Amino acid sequence: MTAQRRVQILEVSPRDGLQAEERTLSTEAKLELIARLADAGHTAIEATSFVSPSAVPQLADAAELLGRLERKPGVRYPVLVPNERGLERAIAAGANDVAVFVSASESYSKKNLNRGRAEALEGALAVVGRATSAGLRVRGITSMVVADPWDGPTDPKTVVDVGLRFLDAGCDDLSLGDTVGYGTPADVRRLLEAHAAAGIGMERIGLHLHDTYGQGLAGVLAGIEMGIANVDASIGGIGGSPFAKHASGNLATEDVVWMLDGMGIATGLDVRKLAATTKWMAGQLGRELPGRAARALNG
């Protein structure tokens, strides 16, 4: 086992967590969420997405939120940009850290972006080029890296090829998204082995795993054993794609932190503050959240 001594958790609840919720939170509530997450120790918080407000109305206040955000020193606040127009809006709102995304599957690309995979990738690479030219930090996200509900299993080579093109275009790092949560630890290992064989170091990869089939923590552990030190998670386990059927919530941040704390792996996060924020978020959303550690810690 080559477990890391420290793992960086990118908190995605303000963006990926809220984008599929039936209830749209106020800008004030979102800003409070981000402040609570920073207070719990987060140093990387995905703040919002500059997608079309008609496509994702839950995040229609992206420019206002970023403009009002009180940035804590030492904390990154990346935002998702789906296209060049989204990048322009993000830069105008003061973004200096962005993420672009493509799907490794054809069907999900058409459902999510209304474009085939090849066309979507070319568009994403153009965004990367403009973002890096503007001096922004850029993360390349690939979704459906294990399997797609419509297309079936995803060839790891397809995912690797996308990652190589992202890196060649100037991306600082990669995120591998198991959008529907199909992946088992064996799938995670197979995917990471394919990246390693292509010369992509584990330090450049982050795992974004969903917990639909209860495999999220096991997948994270498998990744850490292979040298992964970057993991995406969402407070309370909220989130999922509004464009993918059966895509339930993300892996709960407090569940990941509880496991890593027990393994002696540092995250810099206070699990009890995270649990308190999950309880607060449940009140904001009007429902119980799926994260297990928070339910236990909150009694």
Strands (E) located in the chain:
8-11, 48-49, 79-80, 97-103, 137-143, 147-148, 152-153, 173-178, 205-209, 230-233
**pTM, entire model:** 0.95
> What is the pLDDT, as a whole number, of residue 111?
77
Mean pLDDT value of segment 164-174: 98
Name the residue among 289, 292, 187, 274 with its Cα closest to residue 239: 289
Domain boundaries, the chain: 8-297
> CA 240 to CA 232: how far, in whole Å?
13
How high does pLDDT run on average in the chain?
Answer: 94
Q: Is the pLDDT of residue 187 over 90?
A: yes
Mean pLDDT value of segment 119-143: 97
Confidence of residue 125 (pLDDT cuts 50, 70, 90): very high
What residues have CB less than 8 Å from 106, skipping those under 6 apart? 116, 117, 151
- The hierarchical CATH code for the domain 8-297 is 3.20.20.70
Name the residue among 227, 270, 283, 202 with its Cα closest to residue 11: 270
pLDDT, one tens digit per residue, over 247-272 is 567 999 999 999 999 999 999 999 99
